[in-house]
Chains A and B, each alone.
Chain A
């Protein structure tokens, strides 16, 4: 009986190993799904941060948070972001379906952004130019693409980090977006 006590550390070790192995597997699985591990955003339930920035297509036009009227997707993107290129056709398709999408052109230059939008089609209703990444910082952006779902009052309801593909849209975003549309009317 006393001998059995000696096995306690071994049992604990094996249990710990299994636990960490499982956690690691889950993380790897989520990494395949998304470009990075998702951190919970503290901005959920808070309004979009205040800003006043240029429009990507029209430098004269000033855009503030009030211009981004929800329910809508606010997509943080950049021309240097390879994953954004993968995501872009999906956004085009969603825009065609009537989904409201606003863009935040994160740490980019307007000329490249305009060329991208001309060549690859422009799914955005408004595109905010954030060359310094100040708005991105206020939004807690750490890797484009990131997408926020805002409601009719401009409150952030959900954040998705990584590429939106059809599966992500159907599983994560569409139900929430639809709910906001129905709730808003």
Chain B
């Protein structure tokens, strides 16, 4: 019984945590999905490290309202994002468009990954080479027999 109550209490907490999202009436499930997708792709201009879907700042609430209004007007997702960019700048895009300025943002991770692989490859190659050299310097059959003979002779002498 107590467990059940705990579970119920936890469920309420979950509901509270979601209350940051305001209540909008959507014509269709599809529109609701689009609303969430667009608002999670727009950055809150004031908080800057949150999207407008997550932020509780008044400006984020206003922008969600604007997204809803534009959706209701029948604008496309692209048009809505452009609408915001025209007012708040490129900054509001969480996925920056590919321009000369944002090239570093887009390609730096790949470049770093590639550089890492190249370094790894070089290191592995070197180690293998060193290992091969070490193997090459090992004793051959004849030398091994001689060594064995020497060692045996030594133990006999002792």
Contacts and interface: CB of A to CB of B under 8 A. Distances in A.
Interface in A37-95: 37, 39-43
Given A133-B62, A137-B62, A142 B90 contact: no
A36 B48 CA distance: 11
21 contacts: A39-B45, A39-B89, A39-B91, A40-B89, A40-B91, A41-B89, A42-B85, A42-B86, A42-B90, A43-B87, A107-B58, A137-B63, A137-B66, A137-B87, A138-B87, A139-B87, A140-B88, A140-B89, A142-B45, A142-B46, A143-B59
B157 to A, nearest CB: 45
A18 B86 CA distance: 34
Interface string B77-110: 0000000011111110000000000000000000
A42 B91 CA distance: 10
Q: How large is the interface on A (under 10, 10 to 19, 20 to 34, 35 or more residues)?
A: 10 to 19
Given A37-B48, A39-B45, A137-B62, A142 B89 contact: no
Contacts of A137: 62-63, 66, 87
B59 A140 contact: no
Q: Is the interface of A mostly helix, strand, loop or mixed?
A: loop
Contacts, number: 34
Interface of B: 45-46, 48, 58-59, 62-63, 66, 85-91
Contact of A143 (B46, B63, B89, B90): B46
Interface of A: 36-37, 39-43, 107, 133, 137-140, 142-143
A36 B63 CA distance: 18
Given A36-B46, A42-B88, 6 more contacts: A39-B45, A40-B89, A40-B91, A42-B89, A139-B87, A142-B59
A176 B147 CA distance: 92
Contacts of A140: 45, 87-89
A42 B48 contact: no
B54 to A, nearest CB: 16
A42 B46 CA distance: 16
B59 A39 contact: no
Nearest to A136: B62
Contacts of B62: 133, 137
A49 to B, nearest CB: 8
Which of A36, A39, A41, A142: most chain B CB closer than 10 A?
A: A142
A175 B88 CA distance: 26
A42 B48 CA distance: 17
A139 B45 CA distance: 13
Contacts of A143: 46, 59
A139 B84 CA distance: 10
Nearest to B63: A137
A40 B63 CA distance: 18
A139 B87 CA distance: 6
A135 to B, nearest CB: 11
Contacts of B86: 42
A143 B87 CA distance: 14
A39 B88 contact: yes
